[in-house]
Amino acid sequence: MEISLEGKVALVTGGSRGIGRAIARTFAAAGAAVMVSSRKQDALDSVVDEIVGAGGEAGAFAAHAGDPDQIAACVAATVERWDRVDVLVNNAATNPYMGPVLDIDLPRFDKTWEVNYRGPVVWAQEVWRASMRDHGGSVINMSSTGGLAVAPFIGHYDVTKAALIHLTRTLAVELAPSVRVNAIAPGLVKTDFARALWEPDEAAAARLMPLGRLGEPEDIANAALFLASDLASWITGHTLVVDGGSLLRGAVH
């Protein structure tokens, strides 16, 4: 089955690599015009070149995902180019600290909240005001299975992802009926961001999963494509777990 986003405009944060890059490519292949955003322009340009080379339509805007002024500028640039934003994917995240929650220093505490929770709130505010209030749309927040369970050494990050799940439910009510808001909770996916969790022993990590392998960025992109499409038109406030079954065995990361 082909899922179409023909005629839609999508904005993907953290779109220069890993899951965000896969989502941008997948959305473009389904017919969407895609604005990708992250901090580094050269990495974004690479994504755009890849999409355009495959016959898609894309643009890039370098912005810090936790900076309100840069967020507003990125949304404004997207609307200026394509007149609207139909789909927002809040994918950008950071995890500058691993260890017990009680040992975290406040600068890294604040940075994690700034990008992982405050950022998605501001992105949603900006797309709502600039486009979705009048035209409707879909917001997809990238959470984590860590937001649904407790894992050692990554607790503070996981708390921000749990907050993002509750934000998803809250915004689903506040922005209804014209805007759907859903979340995806990936399990362990083979990305550079999660390298410290899977690289030491990929085979052992895969054995914890009923489906017998780690996730690939495309696994998450396919879930995002479904939630962004009209096939999910009666789904809102939902968190879709895409983890190879790892939560069934108590594995989180």
Q: Is 137 left (phi over 0), alpha (psi -120 to 50) or beta?
A: left
| Domain boundary assignment for the chain | 9-249
pLDDT tens sequence across 70-96: 999 999 999 999 999 999 999 999 999
Distance CA 121, CA 157 (A): 17
Strand 239-242 and strand 179-186: the pairing is parallel
Integer CA distances (angstroms), 210 to 141, 142, 213, 247, in order: 25, 22, 8, 9
Query: 138 pLDDT exceeds 60?
Result: yes
- By the 8 A CB rule, do 183 and 164 touch? yes
On the 0-12 / 13-18 / 19+ scale of CB atoms within 10 A, 6 is: exposed
Residue 3's pLDDT band, with cuts at 50, 70 and 90, is very high
Is 97 among the residues known to form the active site? no
Backbone angles phi, psi at 61, to 5 degrees: -145, 115
Mean pLDDT of the region 101-129? 98
Q: Which one from 27, 117, 123, 157 is the annotated catalytic residue?
A: 157
Query: 205 pLDDT exceeds 60?
Result: yes
Distance CA 127, CA 11 (A): 9
Mean pLDDT of the region 99-113? 97
Residue 222's pLDDT band, with cuts at 50, 70 and 90, is very high
Handedness of CA 25, 28, 29, 30 (dihedral sign): positive
- In this structure, whether the domain defined by 9-249 belongs to CATH 3.40.50.720 is answered with yes
Mean pLDDT of the region 114-126? 98
SS (H, E, C) 14-35: CCCCHHHHHHHHHHHHCCCEEE
Mean pLDDT of the region 35-46? 97
